[in-house]
Amino acid sequence: MRLIVTILLLAAVASLAYGASGLVRSRADSSERLHRALRMRIGFSIAVFLLLLLAWQAGLIEPHGLGD
């Protein structure tokens, strides 16, 4: 589970770098490149969130309080 979440988060960071390179380069398709990178980041973030919820419901992870 930890490996899957880590891979998805790294993919989101890679998508962020992909979008940043689109900002640096001034090309005709830079707007589409930024849009695609944003969609990928949002998709990865939603996937991580749903995966964590699923793991919590399956009993694989347990939430804990901060300084109880």
Provide the pLDDT for residue 26: 66
16 to 2, 6, 8, 37, 64: CA distances (angstroms): 21, 15, 12, 7, 30
What single DSSP character describes residue 28? T
pTM above 0.85, yes or no: no
At 57 the pLDDT is 94
Measured CA to CA, the distance from residue 10 to residue 45 in angstroms comes to 11
Q: What is the reported pLDDT for 68?
A: 56
Which of 57, 64, 40 is CA-nearest to residue 1?
A: 57
How confident is the model at residue 41, as a pLDDT? 80
pLDDT tens over the chain, length 68 residues: 678 778 877 887 887 787 777 777 766 667 777 788 788 888 888 888 898 899 889 998 888 877 65
